């Protein structure tokens, strides 16, 4: 019981220290600019229509099945939530857990001595900036990256947009951290018209790389397909 209380206390201390390391305008405290920033980033990084068909525009049965498989795969293979701890804490916890279940195979070092792959080190470097992580300052771990890697709180960002990963929710792909938006559109095309992912095999792509649902590649005033010049375009050119 006392061990559990001590563990909870340590987690609270780490969480408070973690919050203090964030820029003041990005600390998600109710009623502050940081809370508003978090709300905007949740909408931006984790749009509901990327994972819930109820927020999508009239998907066909084929598209619904494709979306269900897509969501299932990303949850099983890529989705994760960062864990705040001091450098080395997660490695120690994982090592102890493994030791309680099985005897891990040691790695042989250059001098021939055996060493656990999760043995404690005296120095840890951030996987984001490469700089040294202070031993008394919280870092973020991502279990899908393995507990030999860690990030400074301000380095735990999407590798595409550079924005801090809201609520520490990340997607792991090919050795990189991504927010939900950029992970999803790295797997499925995203319509420039409605911002939803495209689960149909029939869509339009411009030379610029922009992608559209067929029905959304149209004039926003009259609905005319943009492959044909519409009257609105003629009026605006006068």
Instruction: Give Cα separations from 220 to 106, 173, 190 (angstroms).
Output: 64, 36, 18
DSSP-derived secondary structure letter, 130: -
Handedness of CA 1, 101, 79, 75 (dihedral sign): negative
Task: Write out pLDDT tens, residues 158-176.
Answer: 999 999 999 999 999 999 9
Q: Note the Cα 8 to chain centre separation in Å.
A: 26
- Position 213 confidence tier, pLDDT thresholds 50, 70, 90: confident
User: In angstroms, rounded to a whole number, what is the distance separating the alpha carbons of residues 60 and 66?
Assistant: 10
Task: Write out pLDDT tens, residues 85-131.
Answer: 999 987 655 555 544 545 555 444 444 444 444 556 789 999 999 99
Instruction: Give Cα separations from 174 to 23, 90, 189 (angstroms).
Output: 29, 22, 18
Query: What's the pTM?
Result: 0.78
User: In angstroms, rounded to a whole number, what is the distance separating the alpha carbons of residues 54 and 167?
Assistant: 23
Name the CA dihedral angle for 182, 187, 188, 189, rounded to a multiple of 10 degrees: 60
Which residues, 6+ apart, have CB-to-CB distance to 20 below 8 Å?
A: none
Task: Write out pLDDT tens, residues 32-88.
Answer: 999 999 999 999 999 999 999 999 998 999 999 999 999 999 999 999 999 999 999
Joined together, the tokens standing for residue 190 give: 């995203």
- pLDDT at position 122: 82
């Amino acid at each position: 019981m006392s061990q559990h209380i001590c563990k909870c206390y340590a987690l609270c201390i780490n969480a408070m220290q973690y919050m203090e390391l964030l820029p003041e305008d990005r600390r998600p405290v109710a009623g502050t600019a940081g809370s508003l920033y978090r709300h905007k980033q949740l909408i931006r990084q984790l749009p509901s229509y990327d994972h819930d068909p109820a927020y999508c525009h009239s998907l066909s049965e084929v598209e619904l099945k494709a979306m269900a498989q897509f969501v299932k795969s990303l949850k099983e293979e890529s989705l994760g939530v960062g864990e705040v701890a001091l450098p080395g804490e997660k490695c120690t916890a994982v090592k102890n857990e493994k030791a309680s279940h099985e005897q891990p195979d040691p790695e042989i070092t250059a001098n021939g001595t055996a060493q656990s792959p999760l043995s404690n080190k005296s120095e840890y470097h951030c996987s984001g900036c490469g700089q040294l992580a202070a031993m008394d300052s919280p870092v973020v771990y991502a279990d899908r990256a393995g507990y030999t890697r860690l990030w400074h709180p301000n380095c735990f960002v999407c590798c595409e947009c550079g924005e801090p990963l809201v609520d520490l929710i990340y997607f792991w792909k090919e050795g990189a951290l991504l927010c939900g938006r950029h992970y999803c559109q790295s797997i499925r095309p995203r319509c420039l018209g409605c911002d939803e992912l495209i689960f149909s095999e029939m869509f339009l792509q411009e030379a610029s790389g922009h992608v559209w649902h067929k029905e959304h590649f149209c004039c926003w005033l009259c609905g005319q397909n943009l492959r044909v010049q519409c009257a609105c375009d003629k009026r605006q050119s006068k």
